[in-house]
Amino acid sequence: MAKILVTGGAGYIGSHTCVELLNANHSVVVVDNLSNSSEEALFRVQQLTGKSLDFVQGDIRDSTLLDQVFAQYSIDAVIHFAGLKAVGESQQIPLAYFDNNIAGSISLVKAMERAGVFKLVFSSSATVYDEANTSPLNEDMPTGMPSNNYGYTKLIVEQMLEKLAIADTRWSIALLRYFNPVGAHQSGQIGEDPQGIPNNLMPYVTQVAVGRRQKLSIFGDDYDTIDGTGVRDYIHVVDLANAHLCALNNRLNAVGCRAWNIGTGNGSSVLQVKDTFEQVNGVAIAFEFAPRRLGDVATSFADNQRALDELGWVPRYTLEDMLKDSWNWQKQNPQGYSN
Ligand code: NAD
Ligand code: UFG
């Protein structure tokens, strides 16, 4: 079993991945600066699994700290989640995004190189695809210039890692292009806990359901989709977490850099999500239609065949499961980790 460094492991996707890693008997070291998360998530990960992990509070841009971590622990591979992810904020404070996401990733891979660790799984995003592509999106389609600075940082880091793996064949890198992660661990003990007003659909819906927000604004009702609202590929966070274990496994005996889409391959509209949430959970979601959100595309869903074929990964959870689990987390933790 391997020793895995998980950057950003206290966050939403990171904490779920820690659970799956520990359940698979890997040992886990988390480096997180807690800028968008709580250490409580890591306590709960350990409670859920009955296993312990090592936590180092710190920033991936701190190379001294990273050197200490690599010196102290005999790390086999790194899963790199740490970064900022709010699309709107990235337009207001681009330098913070360039520094955290791009300089942070450079700092990490330099420390990995110094330590002789060359296996890396990177959190990328479907946002790197050129908007002119038609869904289902596959990995051979061209990437484009993302409409926001957050997406731009993902594209730059992807390209940087690709060039690194060409220049130095010791590297073995997986780029996982996530579609729309939602849901929570079935226990309801860990889940998504955004700070402030949620940017994303699912936490907004669950916060309306729990009474923290009055009503959902549905951004656009005139897209060329099944019902006029935007279509996305929602993926259960536990399925997504497991994709990281499959990617690690794939990279054990491989070199080079390769991208995989991580989505279910199914598109659901905003109205379908809202209606299904109401049906499976028996809770009404007040809503209104609002103008389209700048930068949104009508439809985005994955062709996930490459991940199915090459990673041996199979998503198990349905949209109903995702919506039940999101609600189970939110109703048990109305204020997230700050209960
Ligand atoms: P999150 O904010 O919950 O987790 C990110 C974690 O990284 C947080 O715990 C935060 O405290 C930590 N962090 C941020 N900057 C850091 C730094 N410089 N040093 C150390 N720790 C730092 O976000 P998430 O939803 O779990 O996303 C994880 C990764 O997946 C991110 O890279 C994100 O961009 C990417 N991603 C997320 C989505 C999504 O919709 N959630 C979609 C595509 C890609
Ligand atoms: N939406 C609403 N109301 C809201 C929030 C969202 O109607 O309050 C709609 C959006 O317009 C879109 C859909 O719900 O049609 C999904 O929106 P999200 O913000 O949840 O997700 P996005 O698809 O916009 O963005 C996600 C990630 C990004 C990533 C992108 C790449 O949050 O990190 O996917 O596909 F870059």
104-132 mean pLDDT: 98
Own/partner pairs for 290-293, CB < 8 Å, 24+ apart? 290/217, 290/218, 290/219, 290/220, 291/219, 291/220, 292/219, 292/220, 292/222, 292/223, 293/219, 293/220
Residue 170 in contact with residue 255, Cβ under 8 Å?
Answer: yes
Q: Reply yes or no on whether the pLDDT at 193 is more than 70.
A: yes
Is 154 among the domain residues? yes
Measure 305 CA to ligand 2 centroid, in angstroms: 23
pLDDT of residue 1: 86
Where is 80: in which H helix or E strand?
A: strand 77-80
Measure 121 CA to ligand 1 centroid, in angstroms: 13
pLDDT of residue 252: 87
Is 295 among the domain residues? no
pTM of this prediction?
Answer: 0.98
> Residue 58 CA: which ligand is closest?
1
CB of 111 closer than 6 A to ligand 2? no
The CATH number of whichever domain residue 139 belongs to comes to: 3.40.50.720
Is 336 among the domain residues? no
Q: Band of the pLDDT at 339, cuts 50, 70, 90?
A: low
CB of 217 closer than 6 A to ligand 2? yes
Peptide bond into 136 cis (omega under 30): yes
Is 30 among the domain residues? yes
Is 217 among the domain residues? no
Q: Band of the pLDDT at 264, cuts 50, 70, 90?
A: very high
Tell me which residue range forms the domain holding 310: 3-186+235-265+301-316
Residue 234 in contact with residue 179, Cβ under 8 Å?
Answer: yes
Is 210 among the domain residues? no
Measure 56 CA to ligand 1 centroid, in angstroms: 16
Q: Which of 12, 129, 150, 178 is catalytic?
A: 150
| Mean residue pLDDT across the chain | 97
Is 86 among the domain residues? yes
- For the chain, what is the domain count? 1
pLDDT of residue 285: 98
Separation CA 61–CA 162 (nearest Å): 21
Q: Which of 6, 7, 12 to mutate to test the pocket of ligand 1 (most atoms within 8 A of CB)?
A: 12
Query: Other C-beta atoms within 10 Å of 332: how many?
Result: 13
Q: For residue 122, which of 69, 82, 165, 152 has the smallest C-alpha distance?
A: 82
Active site residue 337: no
Q: Which atom of ligand 1 is nearest to the CA of 34?
A: 11
